[in-house]
Amino acid sequence: MKRIFLFALIFTLLSCRSERGDETATLETEVAQDEVYEFGFPISEFESEEGQIKRGEFFTNLMTSLGVPQPDIYSLTQASRGVFDLRRIKVGNSYKAFYTKEEERRLAYLVYEDTKTSFVTFGVHDSIIVRVSEREVESRMKIATVTINSSLWNDVLRAGYNPLLALRLSDIYAWSIDFFGLRKGDSFVAIYEELYVGDKFFDIGTVHGAYFTHAGREYDAYRFIQDEVAQYWNDKGENLRKAFLKAPLSFSRISSGFTYSRRHPVTRIVRPHTGVDYAAPRGTPVMSIGDGVVVQRGYAGAGGNTVKIKHNSTYTTAYLHLHNYAKGLTVGKRVRQGEVIGYVGSTGLSTGPHLDFRVWKNGTPINPLTMEAPPADPIKKASAESFREAVNKVKTMRDSLISVSYVDSMVMKLGKR
């Protein structure tokens, strides 16, 4: 019976796909009564050219180079007020110019690609027009299953998923999993949305839930909105967010650990190294692992450019060998968890770019890799029922998407026979 049901389901899916075909039309290009429209214009009436904003090119000299008369350029700048800030035109962004097919060729419309989801139309054809249009964004539910062999980023990419998913997962599990210590064989399942404009991928949308297996332990995460703030919680209702991040920078490697007997790579003297070295490219952003106040910012001899932050009466952290500091960072400034405080460098006594990260608890150095941080507020009693419904919904989506994924793989196998 199971086999009959499976083949019936596969046949149904194949039939649905056959009926759907490839009839998707984008906002930019549409077909109506044998006439093709692009950005709302019948392209049979115009000639078009594409280009990109060059360095030092502004709206006025761009329009001048496209042959628009000065009075029309002035009218466009006036019409743009309150509609689109012309100072937002960026170097490298694309545009498309539509010209009339008259004997005396002239610009009719210019379409500027402002963002991946919006474009601006400047018209000088029949009248002066400045119009901002939003593209329709389609959300597609996805499930990703990945096993770690080398690194989170590389394995997500190798498995055929967008690497932006790796960034989202590192944010969600920043307080729970040390991504510098992932092991071969670790794995995850993520239920999330991908955003598309037409058939073009745009971004990773909401991650509804994830199940990350690390060192033999599963870490579950469910998105839930409490007090109008979306956060991630485990099945027990414990907030994944903690007082401290697991690491002060993203996607690097540990080059030296916490020890009381390390031979210094420069002096060759054996002495304590009460911190963790993270090897990373020069300029990599360094973040404060928790809320706190800057108590030191300056050159500290062998430690080079250093920032020290007092988080509370118990914990203090320091970030050494920085290339430079974040703009506006001063002693006495209050910083937030995840805020960039500086950039990886090799100042002081150092053989190459890295961050020497140190933590003190009640004035005594402790190993940052084994430090335990208290969690943030748990699910409130008043939210318990809604939270349980959200968890069950994610589990149902997971099981459903896994089933569809299995059927898809069966369809591919049958198609190859």
Backbone angles phi, psi at 153, to 5 degrees: -60, -50
For residue 110, pLDDT beyond 60: yes
Architecture of domain 253-366: Distorted Sandwich (2.70)
Which residues, in sequence order, are CB contacts of 348 under 8 Å at separation 6+?
Answer: 299, 300, 301, 302, 303, 304, 305, 320, 321
pLDDT tens, residue by residue, 65-93: 999 999 999 999 999 999 999 999 999 99
Question: What CATH number labels 39-134?
Answer: 3.10.450.350
Q: Which CATH number fits domain 138-233: 3.30.470.20, 3.30.1200.10, 2.60.40.790, 3.10.450.350?
A: 3.10.450.350
DSSP output for 281-292: -TT-EEE-SSSE
Q: Which helix (H) or strand (E) holds 138?
A: strand 137-147
Q: 163 and 155 in contact (C-beta within 8 Å)? A: no
**Interval 357-393: pLDDT, tens:** 999 988 888 888 878 776 677 899 999 999 999 999 9
* C-alpha closest to that of 238 among 218, 261, 221: 221
Per-residue pLDDT tens over the stretch 404-417:
665 555 445 555 55
Contact predicate 243/374, CB 8 Å: yes
Binned at pLDDT 50, 70 and 90, residue 14 comes out as: very low
The SS3 of residue 398 is helix
Which tens digit of pLDDT belongs to each residue from 314-326? 889 999 999 999 9
Domain range summary for the chain, segments of one domain joined by +: 39-134, 138-233, 253-366
Tell me if 244 sits within 8 A of 338, measured CB to CB. Answer: no
Q: Quick check: do 39-134 and 253-366 share a fold?
A: no
